[in-house]
Amino acid sequence: MGYVQVHIGEMLARNARMFPHRLALVERAPAEQKRIAITWREFDRRANRFARVLREMGIQKGDRVMQLMHNSVDWLAVYFGIVRTGAWVVPLNFRFTGEDIAKCAAAAEPSVFVFGGEFGERVEAARDALGTVQKFICTGEAIPPYAESYAALLAGAGDDPLDVPIGLDDPCGLYFTSGTTGQPKPILLTHLNMVTACITENVHHFQTRDDIFILIPPLYHTGAKMHWFGSLIVGGAAVILKGATPEYILEAVSEEKGTIVWLLVPWARDILVKLDSGELKLADYDLSRWRLMHIGAQPVPPSLIEHWKRYFPRMAYDTTYGLSESTGPNCVHLGVENTHKVGAIGRPGFNWEARIVDEGGGDVAPGQAGELILRGNGVMKEYYKNPQATADTLKDGWLYTGDLVRQDEDGFIYIVDRKKDVIITGGENVFPVEVENFLHTHAAVKDVAAIGYPDERLGEIVAVVVEPIPGAESTEAEILEYCAALPRYKRPRKVFFGEIPRSPTGKIEKPKLRKKYAGREGT
């Protein structure tokens, strides 16, 4: 076939050869009473067909293909089809606005754009800025006049694999994260990065082809998808669950015989609240095969896991830490044998190294706070087209995370604070400058600062401190209504009014604001 190395596209082909009739993917949409299931052979054929479609459109190794879709079986078929051409996958956050899409396209310069029909208006709004896109492909039923039908294209394509030599050092995808300037920051990941995620996850969580992974978070993230890659490498299936209510999650585990579920803190808390109230009863579900629950993307309250263990005393638990620059989770993880250390993010993952350093890059004394830096095969290649940001983050092979941590006497790492001011709400990153820039357009706002405010369910919510223009009047309700134009997860939930302290260099002194309004100490 011409493959130089076993990358994730070849892992799929291998599963199709070895387990052609075994279950590969299930798509559950309970609200629509919809369930789709396909085997490894069918998954492999769909990926090959889409790769053929792209080749007919002129896509070659190194080209970029942008993807904007909700979670589905088609999402993964498109993703693996792109990988097999040697092109770079550019998955977009489905919350992105037309402006966000345009910024990402300016950096990635995609030749083909694949999008779900529900995103038609946003794509249309960004079309004038998508000058490099030669072909649009729509997975919906109502196809815009400028796009081609995904279903029709697949129906007319052959399913023989392409002969494309792909090495582990070849780039694989651009994953976007917003920078503190408000500009999208594309992270370039390689095939080696992806394979590393497969191996690390499998070693940590002992996945086999008999595991059924209940996959809930967005596939555009380097999160749950990378966790499932630990099953992909050995032929374990994924259940793509659309909707994260406690009922949907327990039904999926029960009916699909799920064994592994990766949750966000709010989802775990919602399950516990309903179990406590009696709205949910464990006796109504067959959860006998559910062996592992793990959480990442945000700090995990120890009390939550203590509570969880009261209902699921024999279930294994793990905490994972990662970032897009490390190809997602598991560069640091707690380990299923270390629940007595809940509250820590854990120790370096399989084949990973970690250090805690001061501002000069020297190791700090044991127990002292410093910046977490990481080294391993999951570290990104670069920030694409941003050599300065790359040089600031990658130094002598080490990835500087921007997170302040400390290490205990047993080697377990604890998050102290973030050097960057990112607000993590329900697992989603919100960059304060985006909220601040938006509110600066309000006629009554002189200055504004966005901070994270503690929230029992979401970990943090967005709060803003507003300094009004002298003589101008505004209310919390008015500010909240004004912010309704922002994506829902970026909208402030609390508004305070007061003076914004700034340093002599003009920087907002956010530690003072966090202490005053959110009751949080820190740098």
Angle 302-311/265-277 helices, nearest 10 degrees?
Answer: 50
Structure tokens at 339: 């629940």
Q: CB 117: neighbour CB atoms within 10 A? A: 17
To 5 degrees, how large is the angle CA 89–CA 435–CA 187?
20
Q: Which pTM does this prediction carry?
A: 0.84
* Phi (first) and psi of residue 404, to 5 degrees: -90, 130
Judge residue 203's burial from the number of C-beta atoms within 10 Å of its C-beta, 0-12 exposed, 13-18 middle, 19 or more buried: middle
Judge residue 388's burial from the number of C-beta atoms within 10 Å of its C-beta, 0-12 exposed, 13-18 middle, 19 or more buried: exposed
Left if phi > 0, otherwise alpha if psi is -120 to 50, otherwise beta: which for 255?
alpha
* Torsion, Cα of 325, 330, 334, 336 (10° steps): 160
Q: CB 62: neighbour CB atoms within 10 A? A: 11
If the chain, 523 residues long, is cut into consecutive pieces of 10 residues, what is the mean pLDDT of each piece? 68 97 98 96 98 98 97 98 98 89 94 97 93 96 95 96 95 78 78 96 96 95 89 98 96 98 88 93 98 84 89 96 90 94 93 95 92 97 95 96 90 79 83 82 88 91 91 90 93 94 66 86 51
H helix or E strand, kind and range, residue 17: helix 8-18
Name the nearest CA neighbour of 493 among 508, 476, 510: 476
371 and 402 in contact (C-beta within 8 Å)? yes
Tell me if residue 291 falls in helix, strand or coil: coil
C-alpha 72/C-alpha 79 separation (Å) is: 11
Distance from CA of residue 89 to its chain's centroid?
15
Q: Which residues pair with 184 in a beta bridge?
A: 178
H helix or E strand, kind and range, residue 512: helix 510-513
59 and 111 in contact (C-beta within 8 Å)? yes
Q: Which residues pair with 135 in a beta bridge?
A: 112
Edge to edge, what strands does the sheet with 494-497 contain? 445-455, 459-468, 494-497
Query: Where do the domains of the chain lie, and which CATH numbers do they carry?
Result: 8-23+34-189 (3.40.50.12780), 316-418 (2.30.38.10), 423-518 (3.30.300.30)
Rg of the Cα atoms in the chain: 23
* Phi (first) and psi of residue 128, to 5 degrees: -60, -25
69 and 92 in contact (C-beta within 8 Å)? no
Left if phi > 0, otherwise alpha if psi is -120 to 50, otherwise beta: which for 117?
alpha
Q: Which residue carries 């002129």 as its tokens? A: 58
Per-residue pLDDT of 420-462, as tens digits, reads: 677 888 888 787 877 887 898 898 888 889 999 999 889 899 9
Structure tokens at 444: 């009554």
Handedness of CA 458, 459, 462, 466 (dihedral sign): positive
Q: Which residue carries 């402030």 as its tokens? A: 492
C-alpha 227/C-alpha 221 separation (Å) is: 11
C-alpha 382/C-alpha 392 separation (Å) is: 11
Handedness of CA 239, 242, 243, 247 (dihedral sign): negative
90 and 66 in contact (C-beta within 8 Å)? yes
Q: How is the chain split among helix, strand and coil, in percent rounded to 5?
A: 35, 30, 35
One-letter amino acid of 452: G
C-alpha 286/C-alpha 117 separation (Å) is: 36
